[in-house]
């Protein structure tokens, strides 16, 4: 389910960051990404998003990151480790997968991340996981 089609878009104040390769919904405690189909979400793209996120929130922020995998795309799992060079802004991450192949990709990405990545079956599960993180309670 797309974030904008969920009830979460009605109960969260958010800013939609539209990039050529996907949409990023910037909420108070978390970001939801929806990358376009067929994209290779490489480090240059990731870095451009991180820079815009820091410009939006500032440098002294803790956020959850939700990768809402509504489309099929590729990512180099080792790029997760590079995110740490921008500081410790991620309190936790969740990947919403909608089929078994996406689940396998999420499991691989989890191995390379310096922060915990939680696989979820729905956007509801992912948002609940992020909201329950100790940094937000």
Q: Which residues pair with 28 in a beta bridge?
A: none
Nearest Cα residue to 46 out of 14, 12, 90: 90
How many domains, in total, are found in the chain?
1
Reported as a single tens digit per residue, the pLDDT across 27-55 is 999 999 999 999 999 999 999 999 999 99
The CATH code of the domain that includes 130 is 3.30.750.24
Whole-angstrom distance between the N-terminal and C-terminal Cα of the chain? 27
* Reported pTM: 0.90
124: containing domain? 3-136
- Strands of 27-134, DSSP E: 30-35, 40-41, 63-68, 74-75, 90-96, 117-120
44 Cβ neighbours under 8 A, 6+ residues apart: none
Reported as a single tens digit per residue, the pLDDT across 47-88 is 999 999 999 999 888 999 999 999 988 887 777 778 777 778
């Amino acid at each position: 389910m797309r974030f904008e089609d969920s009830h979460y878009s009605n109960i969260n104040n958010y800013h939609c960051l539209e990039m050529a390769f996907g949409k990023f919904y910037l909420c108070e405690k978390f970001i939801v990404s929806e990358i376009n189909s067929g994209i290779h979400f490489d480090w240059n793209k990731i870095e451009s998003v991180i820079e815009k996120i820091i410009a939006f929130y500032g440098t002294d922020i803790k956020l959850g990151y939700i990768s809402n995998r509504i489309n099929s795309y590729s990512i180099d799992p080792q790029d997760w480790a590079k995110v740490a060079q921008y500081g410790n802004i991620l309190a936790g991450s969740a990947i919403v997968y909608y089929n078994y192949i996406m689940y396998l990709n999420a499991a691989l990405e989890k191995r390379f991340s310096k922060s915990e990545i939680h696989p979820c079956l729905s956007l509801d599960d992912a948002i609940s996981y992020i909201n329950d993180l100790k940094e937000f309670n």
